[in-house]
Structures are given as structure tokens and as C-alpha cells.
């Protein structure tokens, strides 16, 4: 009898028939009330879990900072020295690594990234012109100089006609590399050439007739075994765990070739931009860079050098510090 009372009719319903007792209980008007009750029970159940699932309250809950890099040690600087500072302030921080540096300016212009750490002032001027972009220098970061290196030769004294020298194939890094050869009197170039449009055809022999081999900067470390010499960007040297200072010649990098943190001019008044700049200029970031051997031989921002000089002079003038 009980089973018959709880069974919903399966055949056609008689509109004049009286529904069984248990079926009458589930009146259509009760369904919304049941749904609300279930939602209330669910929310109550979840409230016990929420304290364990919630993160530290964010002071910038809607701000995500995305920073772009090429294949280099500049992402190591950021991940270990800058990102933790921003995350402690409540930002969500993401990084994107591009296979080629030439892809980064367009990504910055289009908003795919908020900042980049790969470009020099000289290169930025040219890319702004090409892309009709508004990139600006926003902060300094330790920058890696180029160096003349060799696996076959331990000295520059072996140089002779016909030897091969690997060089970067992009105009900005090529100009830097050729300046090193010019300082050695191996080649000569006309004065007042445009960096952004520099071409290998501008280079003529001086003391030696050399075979100048152009290739992508990232390929030069792997090609070094097949060359007599190569001029390699410092971040690729550091990536291999080698010291920049072990090169046969180290570039005295001019200011226009130092790597900078770049953002779009339209973003320069935004809070995240100022926090990013402050993180790169912080004592915490400087202490990290100085403590990591990976960055031995990098050119430090001028502000750091001034502070070091002031500290040295203070120590010398105060007998208690000696």
C-alpha cells in the first residue's frame, strides 16, 4: 500500500482524478521554494571551505601585469628580483617569452603585453618609427655587454687574413659588434652612420681582410665552434653559464645600447606602471642582482654606481668605518 501511494502515475492522467497523497505533496508551486532551499544549503556548506581557498587579500584585485622578454637572462632578473615585489603588493604577474626579439615591440603596441625588457634606446627609436608606436624608456635594468669570444684561439695575436668572425645580423647589434672590430683596427666604417639602418656593406677591411659571417644573435653561441671568433650578446653568454668577463674583448657599451624596461606612453600614469618602476629601482632588486653570479660582468644602472661610490667615499672619510 505504501509503495502504491509513492509511485508517480505512468499512464495518461485523468484531470478529474485525485492524485495520490505523496504526489500531491510535490505541488508545482513548491519547486521554486525547494530550489532556493538547496542553494541556501549549498552556500552554507561552501562557507566552511572558503577561508582555506581564499588567497591573501589583494590591494590590486583587478590588475594583471604582463611583461614580455626574448630568450635571455632578463627574464631571470624579473622572475627572481622584481616579480616577488609586485606579487607582495597584490598584483597578478605574468611573463611571455618570445622566440625572437623583433616580435616584442608589436606585442607591446597591440596590448598583448604591458611592458618589455629587451630593447635599447637606439632600437626603440627605430621601432617606434616603423610601427607608429609610443614606447618609452621606463626603467633601467642591469644590461649585458657584447664580447668577442673564441673556442679556437686564446689570444687576439693569432688574427690573420681570411679568418671568420661571426656577427649579429640585426642592424642595432651589428653596429655594436662592428664598433668592437673598429676599435681593434681590424675594420673601418664611415662616421655618422645611422644605427637603425646599419648595413654590413658599410664595413671595409683595415688591417685584415676577414670573413664576416652574419646570423641571428641567438645562433652565434652554437656556431662559435665553427668560427674563429664571434661577437656575442652578453645575455646569451650568461645563459650558457659562462662569464662575460672571460671574453677576449668586452664592449664598453654606450648608453644608447643598454637594455631598458619599456612601456607605452599612454600607460605612464597608471599605478601599476609606477609600481613596476619602483620595483626595478628598489634596494631589494639591487641586492638580488649583486648576489647572483649569473650577472657578473653586467653593466649596472648608473644610480647603483653612484650609490656605491658615495658609500665608498663615506667609508674612507669616517675612521670608524675602516
pLDDT in tens, 103-112: 999 999 999 9
Residue 3 has pLDDT above 50, yes or no: no
DSSP assignment of 262-286 equals EEEGGGTTSHHHHHHHHHHTSHHHH
Same domain flag for 157 and 244:
yes
User: Residue range 167-185: average pLDDT?
Assistant: 95
Same domain flag for 161 and 239:
yes
Same domain flag for 155 and 247:
yes
User: Are the C-beta atoms of 217 and 173 separated by less than 8 Å?
Assistant: yes
**Listed residues 211, 226, 252: the one ending a domain:** 252
Q: In what helix (H) or strand (E) does residue 309 lie, and over which residues does it extend?
A: helix 302-317
**Listed residues 236, 252, 268: the one ending a domain:** 252
pTM of the model: 0.71
Average pLDDT, the chain: 81
Report which DSSP code applies to 89. T
Same domain flag for 209 and 183:
yes
Same domain flag for 115 and 264:
yes
| Residue 306 pLDDT | 62
| Residue 309 pLDDT | 52
| Residue 134 pLDDT | 96
Q: How many domains does the chain have?
A: 2
Same domain flag for 92 and 240:
no
Same domain flag for 205 and 225:
yes
Domain that holds residue 159: 147-252
Nearest Cα to Cα of residue 264 among 151, 46, 92, 112: 112
Is residue 116 included in any domain, yes or no?
yes
Return d(Cα 177, Cα 187) in angstroms, integer.
11
Is residue 163 included in any domain, yes or no?
yes
Residue 232 has pLDDT above 50, yes or no: yes
Q: Match 622566440 to its residue by C-alpha cell.
A: 99
Please name every residue paired with 64 in a beta bridge, in sequence order, or none if there are none. Answer: 92
Domain harbouring 183, CATH code: 3.40.190.10
Reported confidence tier of residue 71, pLDDT bands at 50, 70, 90: confident
Amino acid at each position: 500500500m505504501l509503495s502504491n501511494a509513492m509511485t508517480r502515475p505512468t499512464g495518461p492522467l485523468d484531470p478529474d482524478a485525485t492524485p495520490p497523497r505523496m504526489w500531491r505533496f510535490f505541488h508545482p508551486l513548491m519547486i521554486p521554494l525547494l530550489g532556493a532551499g538547496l542553494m541556501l544549503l549549498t552556500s552554507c556548506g561552501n562557507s566552511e571551505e572558503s577561508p582555506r581557498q581564499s588567497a591573501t587579500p589583494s590591494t590590486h584585485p583587478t590588475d594583471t601585469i604582463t611583461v614580455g622578454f626574448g630568450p635571455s637572462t632578463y627574464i631571470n632578473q624579473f622572475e627572481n628580483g622584481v616579480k616577488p615585489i609586485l606579487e607582495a603588493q597584490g598584483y597578478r604577474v605574468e611573463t611571455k617569452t618570445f622566440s625572437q626579439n623583433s616580435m616584442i615591440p608589436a606585442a607591446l603596441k597591440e596590448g598583448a603585453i604591458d611592458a618589455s625588457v629587451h630593447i635599447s634606446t637606439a632600437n626603440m627609436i627605430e621601432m617606434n618609427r616603423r610601427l607608429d608606436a609610443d614606447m618609452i624608456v621606463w626603467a633601467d635594468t642591469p644590461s649585458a655587454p657584447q664580447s668577442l669570444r673564441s673556442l679556437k684561439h686564446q689570444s687576439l695575436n693569432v688574427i690573420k687574413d681570411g679568418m671568420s668572425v661571426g656577427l649579429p645580423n640585426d642592424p642595432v647589434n651589428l653596429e655594436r659588434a662592428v664598433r668592437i672590430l673598429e676599435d681593434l683596427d681590424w675594420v673601418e666604417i664611415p662616421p655618422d652612420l645611422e644605427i637603425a639602418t646599419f648595413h654590413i656593406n658599410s664595413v671595409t677591411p683595415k688591417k685584415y681582410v676577414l670573413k664576416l659571417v652574419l646570423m641571428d644573435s641567438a645562433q652565434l653561441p652554437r656556431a662559435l665552434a665553427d668560427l674563429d671568433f664571434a661577437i656575442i650578446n652578453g645575455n646569451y653568454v650568461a645563459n650558457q653559464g659562462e662569464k662575460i668577463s672571460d671574453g677576449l674583448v668586452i664592449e664598453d657599451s654606450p648608453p644608447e645600447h643598454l637594455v631598458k624596461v619599456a612601456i607605452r606612453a599612454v600607460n605612464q600614469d597608471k599605478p601599476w606602471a609606477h609600481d613596476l618602476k619602483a620595483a626595478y629601482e628598489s634596494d631589494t632588486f639591487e641586492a638580488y642582482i649583486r648576489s647572483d653570479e649569473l650577472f657578473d660582468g653586467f653593466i649596472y644602472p648608473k644610480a647603483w654606481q653612484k650609490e656605491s661610490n658615495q658609500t665608498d667615499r663615506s667609508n674612507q672619510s669616517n675612521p670608524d668605518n675602516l
